[in-house]
Amino acid sequence: MPLNRLVVGFAGLLPILVASAGAQRPASVLPAVPAVHGNLTIQVAYPAAGSAIDAGDSTFLFGTVGDSAAKFTIAGQSVAVAPNGAWLAWIAIPRDSSFVLALVAKRGADSSTASLPLSRAGWVRESGAWVDPKSLAPNGEVWAPQGEPLALSVLAAPGSLVHLLLPNGAVLRFAADSTAAPVSEGLRNFDRDERNLVRTIHGDRFVATLGTALNPNGGLEPSSEGDRLSRPPMLVIALGRDTTRIPWPLTVSRSADAPVAVLLDDDPRRLGGTDRITIGRAYPTGTYTWFLPQGTRTRADMRIGDQVRLRLSRDAIAWVSSADVHRAPATDDPRPAIMGSPTLTAESGITRLRVPLTRPVPMSVDESERGLIITLYDAVSNANWTRYGADQRFVRLITWKQEAQDRITISVAFDRPLWGWRVRVEGTDLVYEFRAPPMIDPAHPLAGRRIVIDPGHPPGGACGPTGLCEPEANLAVGRAVRDRLIDRGATVIMTRDGPDEVELWPRVALADSVDAELLVSIHNNALPDGVNPFTNNGTSTFFNHPQSLPLARAVQDRLVANLGVRDLGVARGDLALVRPTWYPAILTEGLFMMLPDQESALRTPEGLQRYASGIVEGITTFLQRSARAEILPP
Ligand SMILES: [Zn+2]
């Protein structure tokens, strides 16, 4: 019958499937780990004794035992020891707020023992009516429009009664939050086991809304004269006969006024050393969504702690750091800004789009493969002409649309893939610059290219079981990449060529200052606590903007071929070194520092050569493809 035939057929196919899967995943090509014989000494490289780990049922540890012949156990569980004495363990741990792991190494009659005390991050040791003071949200200064509800939340003992005593004697009751606790970012980003992404309800989160019901009789609000509260509200947690009281450091001001006109500037004293961009988020702790250039004019209508809410247009808001927001010097004109006729000009390979405005309004740019869409908030169009310029062909078509009553979209289509773009405020206008692909000789694609190589870290960086850390490994790979690129005719600028710390922003500033044509940031990976390193390691390459994706794919393909470890694929990531828009920029995570064989490979010339060649071959392939990229028919 059909079912049996299917089963038989499937069983017959299985060896073939296995064989082909085996062909796609070759045995590791990394250099062999050298054998080490020496004193039996247990060293734990991670985690440090007494530290708090953020894990579920199991966690990883790594270090060395000093001898490849050692038999090694942690909490009674057997752990493999690499030829160089390094070990990586994935260990089941007790469901307790703190615990001690016993580590035992044996070699014949010789033995060594160690104990490792650990605790769990986010687990509160206390019993009874506990409350986590760090979880009070929001706290600090809040100002908000009259009638705007304010959500309050706190972590406290499950099953307790939670309420807030307001200075005027009113009581705000909290309810247990019935929504599931979010899965940690680390698990979301790294764990390929879907079962670990199931969320659970902890019952320790309590929520309440401070709304209009508490107005106008004071409550948490100051009096109508606008004075501050004389004392903070008091949070009370009751569980059985146990009661805990803590003050909630919060002041709330309500405003009936219209939004305040503000100017965005991350460097008001002109000290330099900033990126001249204000980051906007969809909610106060959200991801980066808007990149608003210095000089943008807009309005603010709410503040929670150090976050200010901008009203970009009637239906769009963004949260930004209060440090970047300044009261606009001139009195506010409540009408939208007026956009005049856009004009294109070209000069030394750069195409410039000037968007005339009566005020530099907030904007965003969304990219596609061969075009981009500019959104202007708080603006109305009075555009009539569009001048395409005499000498430019790169921009094929510009159209604009009054998308809503105070929002305009401008669509820009290019005749080749966009290499890069940037924007600045000039007077009250927005000026965009577009970069076409450079002239590339397909026979010598690296000749004349200006490439920035960024060896990741320090500060920071992951380390391996035997103590090799990213700053050293990444620099060794970076130097090997540089030498190969120079051999093939490229000009290479290194963001660092020594052990000294370089922060992220100066690395990007250097790439901008040398007018980079391409940037590769070199890293080696690590996992967050609680993710299985044996099933989740491999090679990955990150990019941010669509124009960088072809470079990311080309380099990822060559890295996977050269390193022979699992292919984790390319990924979009909002990382400082891949965020620049003026040139294709990628970040490679070639190997995982915590895996003994991968750490060991990074100590050898062959391992470094494999990593470096992968990057150079990938860049070469990308440039060859770019040289062949056709001009689209009109
Ligand atoms: Zn790194």
Task: Give the angle subtended at the CA of 373 by the CAs of 370 and 378, to the nearest 5°.
Answer: 170
Question: Token match 């409540």: residue?
Answer: 334
Q: Which of 527, 534, 461, 591 is nearest to 53 (CA)?
A: 527
pLDDT band at 372 (very low <50, low <70, confident <90, very high): very high
Ligand 1 centroid to Cα of residue 43, in Å, is: 23
Query: Tokens 């070469």 — which residue?
Result: 620
Question: Crossing angle for the helix pair 605-628 and 549-563, nearest 10 degrees?
Answer: 150
Which pLDDT score, from 0 to 100, does residue 631 have?
Answer: 64
Task: Using the mean position of ligand 1's atoms as its centre, give its distance from the Cα of residue 560 in Å.
Answer: 18
Residue 109 alpha carbon to ligand 1 centre in Å:
41
- Determine if the pTM surpasses 0.85: yes
Please provide the average confidence, as pLDDT, over all residues in the chain: 88
Cα-to-centroid distance, 178 and ligand 1 (Å) = 37
pLDDT higher than threshold 50 for residue 225? no
d(CA 589, ligand 1 centre) in Å: 8
Amino acid at site 531: V
Distance 416 CA to ligand 1 centre (A): 33
Q: Residue 112 Cα, ligand 1 centroid: separation in angstroms?
A: 33
207 Cα to the center of ligand 1, angstroms: 37
Percent of the chain surpassing pLDDT 70: 89
Tell me how far the alpha carbon of residue 104 lies from the centroid of ligand 1, in angstroms.
31
**Residue 86 has what DSSP assignment?**
E
CA of 462 to the centre of ligand 1 (A): 6
**CA 306 to ligand 1 center in whole angstroms:** 29
What spacing in Å lies between the alpha carbon of 52 and ligand 1's midpoint? 21
Q: Which amino acid is at 486?
A: I
The CA distance from 46 to 319, in Å, is 37
Question: How many angstroms is it from 526 CA to the middle of ligand 1?
Answer: 8
13-41 pLDDT, tens digit per residue, is 333 333 333 334 445 689 999 999 999 99
The CA 143 to ligand 1 mean position distance, Å, reads 39
Distance 598 CA to ligand 1 centre (A): 15
Quick one: pLDDT band at residue 5, thresholds 50, 70, 90? Answer: very low
Query: What separation in Å is there between the alpha carbon of 593 and the centre of ligand 1?
Result: 10
Query: Region 151-179: what's the mean pLDDT?
Result: 88
Distance 566 CA to ligand 1 centre (A): 18
Which residues keep their CB under 5 angstroms from ion ligand 1? 456, 470, 523
Q: What are the angstrom distances between the C-alpha of 59 and each of 521, 589, 593?
A: 29, 22, 16
pLDDT digits (tens, 9 = 90+) for 99-150: 999 999 999 999 999 999 999 876 666 678 999 888 999 988 888 887 788 8
- State the distance from the centre of ligand 1 to the C-alpha of 500, rounded, in angstroms: 15
pLDDT digits (tens, 9 = 90+) for 487-545: 999 999 999 999 999 999 999 999 999 999 999 999 999 999 989 999 999 999 999 99
Whether 452 has a pLDDT exceeding 90, the answer reads yes
CA of 13 to the centre of ligand 1 (A): 42
Cβ count within 10 A of residue 493: 18
Contacts 24+ apart (CB under 8 A), 326-330: 326/262, 326/263, 326/264, 326/265, 326/268, 327/260, 327/261, 327/262, 327/263, 328/261, 328/262, 328/263, 328/297, 329/263, 330/261
The DSSP result for 524-588, as a single string, is EE---TTS-TTTS--EEEEE-SGGGHHHHHHHHHHHHHHH-S-EEEEEE---GGG--SSS-EEEE
Separation of CA 281 and ligand 1 centre (Å)? 25
**How much distance in Å is there from the Cα of 225 to the middle of ligand 1?**
52
**Cross-strand bridge partners of residue 89:** 61
> For the chain, which domains are there?
43-120 (2.60.40.10), 133-253 (2.60.40.10), 260-327 (2.30.30.40), 337-435 (2.60.40.3500), 450-628 (3.40.630.40)
> 555 C-alpha vs ligand 1 centroid, how far in Å?
17
Strands (E), 444-545: 450-455, 491-494, 518-525, 539-543
Q: How far does residue 120's CA lie from ligand 1's centre (Å)?
A: 24
- Which of 208, 207, 209 lies closest to 181, judged by CA? 207
Distance 457 CA to ligand 1 centre (A): 6
CA of 524 to the centre of ligand 1 (A): 6
Ligand 1 centroid to Cα of residue 31, in Å, is 22
